[in-house]
Copies of this chain bind each other. A is one copy, B any other.
C-alpha cells in the first residue's frame, strides 16, 4: 500500500447495512483511502464476516469497537481515522472513544443523538485536537459547492429568501413493522434520537440551507407530524425559518410523501437572482436572473469555479452521483489528514455543523407547535 494512502477503520456497516458499503466505496474510490479494520457488528462473527466481504483481513475485525481502537492504535500501520456508520445513538460514544484514542473521525450524520451529546463531543474534539468531519453527503456534490461559492461572491445580491425541501416516500407505510431494518431503527427513538424525519433528513435540508446561503438560522416555527398511525416519531415536518436578522425561509421535509424518492431541493434567492438545485438532477444548477436568460450550469464544465470544477473525475456530460459526492468528502478529509492541516479551508462539515444540526432538531422537537422560538 502506497504511503500516500490513508488507512481507515469503520464502526458499523455490518450485514444488512445500506450506508456501510457506500462509505467503503466512497472512501476507496479515488485510491486515497483504504479500509483496513473495523468493528462492523457487535457480533464478532458477523464483524469478521463483514471484513471478508470488504476484502480485508478478518483479524482486524472486532465485535467491540473499543477493542478495535486499541488494536489499531497499537499497530505502526494501524488505521489513521475511524468512519462511523452506525445507527444514530451510537455515533457519540464511538466518536468520543475514537478521538480519545488518538484517531481522527469521519461520522455519518447526525453527529449525536442529543444536543447535550453534541456539546460534549465538541469539547472532546477541541480537547483532543483531532479532525472530526461529518458526512452531510449533499455538501459533497460539486454543484452544491459551486452554489455556495456563487452566493459567497455575491452574484445573487443579498440573500432574501431560502426554500429547502426534502421529500421521501419510503415511510408512507408502517414498514418499520416489517423486515425493513433501515426503517426499524429510524422509527425507534432509542436508536434514532429525538427526531424522526427531522433528524434523518430534515437536518440534511437544514445543513444544505446554511451551507449554501452562508446564513445561520436564528428562529424557527416548527410543525412536526406523525402521519402514519402508531409511529412514535415525526415522519413529516414543515418549519418556518428566519435566517440572520430578517431573511425568511421555509423547510419542508417528509418521509411519507408517497411516491417521492429522495427529493432534496434547495432554492436561494437574492436581490438579483435565485439559484435552484435539485438532487433528482444533481449535475445541473439553475440560475434565474431578474433581467437575463436563465443559466444552467453543468457539472464538470470548464466555466465552473474551483469549488464546483475541482471535484470532477469525469468530463462534463458524464454523470457522477451519490457515491462520488460521498467520495468528495472522503477525499477532502483524507487530504486534510495527509497534509496535517485542519478542516478549516475545506468544505467538509465539522462538529460545529453537527452542533447546529442537533440544536435545530432538539429545538424543533421541543417547540413543536409553539410558534416562533429562538434557535
Contact = CB atoms under 8 A, between A and B. Distances in A.
Interface of A: 1-2, 4-5, 18, 21-22, 24-25, 28-31, 34, 52-56, 156-157, 160-161, 163, 165, 168-170, 172-173, 221, 223, 225, 227, 236, 238, 240, 246, 248-250, 252, 254, 256-263, 267, 269-274, 279-282, 287-298, 301-303, 313-324, 369-372
Contact of A315 (B258, B262, B267, B296): B262
A91 to B, nearest CB: 21
B296 A269 contact: no
Majority-rule SS of A interface residues: loop
Given A55-B2, A322-B319, A323-B324, A248 B258 contact: no
A243 to B, nearest CB: 12
Given A240-B240, A303-B292, A319-B321, A25 B29 contact: yes
Contacts of A225: 246, 248
6 closest residue pairs by CB, A with B: A259-B288, A261-B317, A262-B317, A371-B371, A319-B321, A294-B296
A213 to B, nearest CB: 14
Contacts of A321: 314, 318-321, 324
A289 B221 contact: no
A259 B314 contact: no
